[in-house]
A and B are shown apart, each in its own frame.
Chain A
């Protein structure tokens, strides 16, 4: 996609589409920076879905019952699907799939920092569904109205499927909480480890978020990071109470003046470290993705060769 001289009429039409809350569609003229921003956001989102299969995928064979195995398998398969819907949306802007995969495995494009934390016990599977997918839903519901059409449509599909993810996680935790003291302790331990990293999923605080203002003006994003983080905390507190777990934040309390919960400061240095590649599992996640991609090379080549041969045969017969 080359940058053509922005015809004033086209730019005006683009601005009008945004102002009227209509969707920008793939073949419309758009500013190069809009295209680049949307590609970056969708790619990062797609990569997160794909890498996001790993922490839970490791538990599929170890889930304690056939029912839990089947549920987890379906959930992880959904995440693969989410990644593919999003890659498909990204490709409508001229991004190349092979290139996107390369950018992921060479670390040139990011994915959500949350997936660089390990899933240590089976309670983590429940907490990931409840909190990680819950935070994802909170982030994603407003994106169903994102100004770029294919992205918004992908988000609608994804959000429908995410509600199953969150509910299966919460149900798993309710089951464990009605079990032994040891099981309840496992749940609390998992909540203690995941709570702060989950709050980091909403991104840096608004005062430090470089891209937010432009993305909001273009309606690619509809709420700031801090607004969504606050909304998530307010939604989660009563769920934690119903479950019988404590959220590990001594500063967390209802503020009647604000009509919202106050909560402690996220450790932004830790977040920067994890984003910079120094989290507990960064290297492992990328290595595993690269191994899967490299290991699949012969399959891609063989299928392409088979298709070419078959097409050749059909031409001869015809």
Chain B
């Protein structure tokens, strides 16, 4: 995930926002990229112009990049370990006879 960076002296730069788009009703919002904007309202308008010029979305979220807390890839194994050893969370863990329908 990108981080807000520029704060160089004398160079007014707008903060960075991450953009998430719902492609159509029934789907989750998906991260599509980032942009710079002075505030949330402008970020939304810019996101519309930049990421939905061809009807790619029905809903937009913008989030200040600095507000995102992300897992670190370095701690990948321990962080995701709780799900790694729980194969019983997957439907394929269970043997069901072929003659049982709709399962």
Report the Cα distance A26→B2, complex, angstroms. 7
Nearest residue in A to B13 (C-beta to C-beta)? A98
Q: A318 on the interface (CB 8 Å rule)?
A: no
Question: Using a CB-CB cutoff of 8 Å, which residues 1-50 of chain B contact chain A?
Answer: 1-3, 5-6, 8, 11-14, 16, 33-36, 38-39, 42, 50
- The interface of chain B, by Cβ under 8 A from chain A, is 1-3, 5-6, 8, 11-14, 16, 33-36, 38-39, 42, 50, 53-54, 70, 72-74
Query: Does A62 lie at the interface of the complex (its beta carbon under 8 Å from any beta carbon of B)?
Result: no
**Nearest 3 CB-CB pairings of A with B:** A303-B38, A307-B39, A307-B38
* Given A88-B35, A304-B14, A81-B6 contact (CB < 8 Å): no
A306 lies within 8 A of B38 (CB): yes
Contact A84 B35 (CB under 8 A): yes
Give CA–CA (A89, B1) in the complex, Å: 10
Q: Find chain A residues with CB under 8 A from B2 CB.
A: 26, 88, 91-92
Complex Cα gap A98–B6 (Å): 7
A84 near B12: Cβ-Cβ < 8 Å: no
Complexed CA–CA distance, A88 and B32 (Å): 10
Q: Can you name 18 extra interface pairs (CB under 8 A) apart from A98-B6, A303-B38?
A: A26-B2, A27-B70, A29-B73, A29-B74, A84-B50, A85-B50, A88-B2, A91-B2, A91-B16, A94-B3, A97-B16, A98-B8, A98-B13, A99-B6, A303-B14, A303-B39, A304-B12, A306-B38
Which chain A residue lies CB-closest to B19?
A88
Chain B interface helix/strand/loop/mixed: loop
Which residues of B have CB within 8 Å of A27? 1, 70, 72-73
Q: Select which of B33, B36, B39 is within 8 A of A154 by beta carbon.
A: B33
Q: How many residues of A contact B (CB 8 A)?
A: 35
State the majority secondary structure of interface residues on A.
Answer: helix
Contacting residues, chain A, for B70 (C-beta < 8 A): 27
Q: How far is the CA of A84 from the CA of B46 in the complex (A)?
A: 11
Determine whether the beta carbon of A88 is less than 8 Å from that of B12: no
1/0 contact string of A18-43 vs chain B (CB within 8 Å): 00000001111100000000000000
Interface residues of A in 76-102 (CB under 8 A from B): 77-78, 81, 84-85, 88-89, 91-92, 94-99
Residues of the A chain whose Cβ atoms lie less than 8 Å from the Cβ of B74: 10, 29
A310 lies within 8 A of chain B by Cβ: yes
